Each structure stands twice: as C-alpha cells, then as structure tokens.
Amino acid sequence: MTDGSIQSWIGLTSGAVALASFIPYIRSILKGQTRPNRASWFIWAFAEIITTATYAASGADATLWIAAGYALGTITVASLSLRYGEGGAGLIDAMCLAGASIALIPWLALDQAELALYMIIFVDVLAVFPTLKKALADPESEDKTYWSLSFLAAVINLFAIERWAPEIAAFPIYCFLGAGAILAALLSHGVVRAVAGRLRQPALPASVPNLQS
C-alpha cells in the first residue's frame, strides 16, 4: 500500500521495474533459450522471501517494494524451472540456502529482524561474486536487459529511502552496488573489446596515401 508520499510512489515504481526486469528472462525460458537451474532458483526464491519478510519487520516501507518485486520474480522463475529447468544445487547455492536458514534464527528465536536482514544481505553479497566472475569471463551468458532494468530499479529505489538508518538503507545500497557491478562488468567487456579491435588495426605506412580521406 502507498501512503501518498512521493517516496512511496517512487518505491512502488522501483518495485514495478524490478519485477519487469524478469520479463526478458522469463520470455527466454518460454522460448527454450534458457534453462534455469531448479535448485538455484528455488534457493534464491526462498532467500528473497526471507529478505522481504525481515526487511519489512525491520521497518522498511517505501523501499520494500523492490524486495517484493525480486521475490515475486524469483518465485515465478523457480516455478517455471519445474518444467523448463535443469540441474541441481552447487556449492554457492548450498551456502545461500544454509545462510538464509541460519538467518531465520535471530529473527524467529530472538526477535532480531535487523540482524537477520544483515545476515541475508551478506549471503546475497557472496552470491553476487560467481555471477560477477561469469559476467567478466563470458558476458554473453548474462542478459544485459535484465541487469539494466535491475540496476535502474535499484537507482530509483535510492530516492525512495525515507530514513537513512542502517536497517533501511542497507538493502537498497546493496541492490545498487550489486546490480551496478554486474552491469558494469557486462558493459566494460564490450568497451574493452572495441578498444582492442581498434588497437589491432594495422597502421598505414607513411609512404602510402590514405585513400579513406
């Protein structure tokens, strides 16, 4: 629900963009171009649900929409993976599941939602590095449209922050830095390749007239 404030509407817009970022990925799945890892996406969906719940319990309001958008998106992909997906869990997936499960302890047993939120964010940070490495080594394996929209949602969400307290600002800042790092890796690879291509072009000898001028 929105309370009519500008931050509330900005946060809602951010959540809508975050959810929309999954559209090209889902379309790719339905076309048979992408086969999501079943275990990975179910683990990520579980982690995003916990993130949304602990973030809400920590007092997030306008900035909560982006977490909800990511949660709904990952749940959708996880559901599609039952029919269109493949594979099992890797080490990082198992670590994310374990971290998300452990994060439930301070929230449910100790009523420390903020501590649980920080633990979930830390788990998400660890999960970013394999994707970042893959984006640098094989940029074609990542969808630039998805990451562009995800980064846009994170940028918009920064303007929805009503109170720059750690428990409110930590998740939006993480989204901004995480999505931004991966998008920068994808874009920089193209720039480096273009520059390298120009450097490889042989220079014309001084005695040969430049026919292109």
Q: Which tens digits make up the pLDDT trace of 162-209? A: 889 999 999 999 999 999 999 999 998 766 555 555 566 555 454 545
| 76 vs 98: CA distance, rounded Å | 22
| Residue 178, pLDDT score | 92
| Residue 204, pLDDT score | 46
| Residue 194, pLDDT score | 57
Burial 109-121, CB ≥16 within 10 A → b, else e: eeebbbbbbbbbb
Report the amino acid identity of residue 34: T
List the one residue out of 87, 123, 129 whose CA is nearest residue 102.
123
| Residue 129, pLDDT score | 83
| 199 vs 97: CA distance, rounded Å | 46
78: alpha, beta or left? (left if phi > 0; alpha if psi -120 to 50): alpha
| Residue 95, pLDDT score | 77
Q: Domain residues of the chain, as ranges?
A: 6-200
Q: Tokens for 159? A: 């303007």
- CB contact at 8 A, 37 and 87: yes
Report the amino acid identity of residue 68: A
| 129 vs 118: CA distance, rounded Å | 18
Q: Tokens for 174? A: 């993480």
CB atoms within 10 A of CB 191: 9
- CB contact at 8 A, 126 and 96: yes
Q: Tokens for 166? A: 């750690």
68 half-sphere exposure, CB direction, 13 A CA radius: 14
Q: Flag residues of the chain having pLDDT under 70.
A: 1-4, 88-89, 190-213
| Residue 27, pLDDT score | 92
| 159 vs 154: CA distance, rounded Å | 9
| Residue 89, pLDDT score | 64
SS3 of residue 86 by DSSP: strand
* C-alpha 9: how far from chain center: 21
| Residue 213, pLDDT score | 44
List the one residue out of 28, 39, 22 whose CA is nearest residue 141.
28
